[in-house]
Structure 1
Amino acid sequence: MNTKKYSWPFVLALTLHVSIVLLIILSTLFKMPDDSGPPTPEIIQATIVEQAPEQPTPTAKTEPVTEPVEPAPKVDEAAEMQKKAAAIAEAQAAKAKAAAEKAAAEKAAREKAEQAAAEAKKLATEKAQAEAEARAKKLAAEKAEAEQLKAQAEAEKAAEIKAQKLAAEKAEAAAKAKKAAAEKAEAAAKAKAEAEKAQKLAAEKAKTEAEAKARREAEKLADLKAKRLAAEKAEQEKAAAAKAEAAKAAAEKEKKLAAKKAAEEKAKKLAEEKAAREKAEEAQKAAEAKAKKLAAEKAAKAEAEAKAKKLAAEKAKAEAAAKAKAEAAAKAKAEAEAKAKAEAAAKAKAEAEAKAKAEAAAKAQAETEAKAKAEAAAKAKAEAEAKAKAMNDEFEKARAAIQLKTNRSWIRPPTSSSGLKCKIRVRLMSDGTVIEATVISSSGDEIFDRSAENAVNKASPLPVPKDKDLFAKKFRSFTFTFEPDR
């Protein structure tokens, strides 16, 4: 203890003790024997009025004493007075000492209170600083998470815009292909109509021509017919090829892998159909050549007969020529109608086959897509289950690690009994820093509850999982049972 802080009480006590010692010395001096008896009462009176430092004057010594026979009782009274004075001095010294001790105790209490207040203020300052830092960290973490979510949303939006753009481009390409096919079909129909119109005009013109031009007109009509058929055939092949190419391009663009096999099968079938058409055309050409040859032979025969009968019957020749012309026109018309019917049937058959093939391809594609969707759904389900299991395992692992670290950071209070437990709500930052730890279900022992909260704060930062989704769902704010004796 520092003696400088308590110098004035000790000085006061020392002064009182010195006064007592002086009084005792003075009383001893005045009790010494003296030859002159009369001055004794004067010494007693001086002690009573506390004028010991004054020396008795010679006049006082020479004064006569009225009752010199009673000195003994006065001496006893002086002794009693000295005892009383000593008792009073001791009481005053004890009182002064008690006052000094009380003042020292009060000062020590004040200093202790001031020290406790300073420590409390320091703790409050540190806690406020820690809370400010925790809030700053939390705000920074939340800002980072918000920026990440914003970037993710922007990326998803960009991907969606890109997908919509690709879908629009795909639809536009399909529309263009469909329009081109329609334009080609319209051009083919127009060309066919014009050819039929030209054929009709040629037939009407042939009817008005003379006999001499009958064979030539017939040959010319046959040539025109052959050319028209060749043109129609070329147009049909061109339209079919263009249609096949457009369908193939659209199928490849939609699903390259799924349509590759179908395109190969279609190309193979088209090649087979083309070979069959070429074969049929060759047979038809051979038949036409044979018919032409027969017609030429018949015409030559008719001409010979006409020349032989020319002189005999001009009228019969004219009738025969007219009849032959009519028969040729009828035959040509019948052949044209039969060919048109055959072409229409072939076209209908081709369209039906193409439609059936398209439906089969669409069905196969739908089945493929359904299978792919089912596989994707099964895969997504398996991945979700695996992810859920992994998240649950990581959750249990992190929870056990938090429990272990909290138990290791706990200091058992001396007054707490074993087997106590309490439930604590904890709020964390993304790095595991403890923001708040509060007991929500008490153990019944307040000291144990406070020690549990201190253990959680001391264990900060807690071991949290790296998965941000798991942390946000399970560890941003959670509760656990603190039971260190288990």
Structure 2
Amino acid sequence: MKQSLNIGKQPDFQKIIITSAVMHLLFISLIAFPLKTKEREYKSYFVNLVGPAEIRKATGIKNKAGKRAIKIKPALKKRVKPKSKAGMSLEPANRVAKEIERISAISAISKKKRQKEKEMAEAGEADNAIARAIEGLRKKKLINVTKGTGIPSRVSSADAESYYALITEEIWSEWIPPDYDATGLEVIISIKIKGDGKVISQEIEKSSGNTFFDRSASKAISKASPLPPPPVEMEIGVRFYL
């Protein structure tokens, strides 16, 4: 039996080294390129929400990591239109006008009130003057009632005097003497009074010589009628004098 012996050649170390180097380069390339692609594929972007002042400062500037910042446009604020100067000046003018109108109304009311108070005061003074004049006439006893011819004898003197005083007051309250200064005037009027107090007749017994004075006396008697009912029908004389 023959035994074969394989005797190889010595290995070529130069080829082995070159082949190993090429394989290492290919391996490194395969590792390097996918990592770079992954970095581009999963590249992140960051959004910074900042105020208007910071946006102007950061415009066009990249962040420290080299990543590009996206600019966010701020929301526009609604501008409030300012009030016109004409409108602003009109409101105070209206207030001033209303205040002037209010003061004028108060002044008018106050003026009317003062005028009314003045008129009332004047009327009061006039009434007081009339009252004083009447009181003066009362004290002077400018009207006298005298016993006439028609008084029955059965009527007592006391009853007659009482009745005279009563009708004197009634006639005197209606008498308005003429408005002029005069003295020494006297008129006597005779009147007849029925049982119900009605004056059925009046006659001037003595004239004052002044028509207005005599007429004022006669008018006072007419206005006072009917008088208080007398005890009996009677005739009496009424004397008016100044």
TM-score by length of 2: 0.38
TM-score by length of 1: 0.22
Structure ranking higher on relative contact order (CA contacts 8 Å, 6+ apart)? 2
| Structure richer in strand, relative to its length | 2
| Structure richer in helix, relative to its length | 1
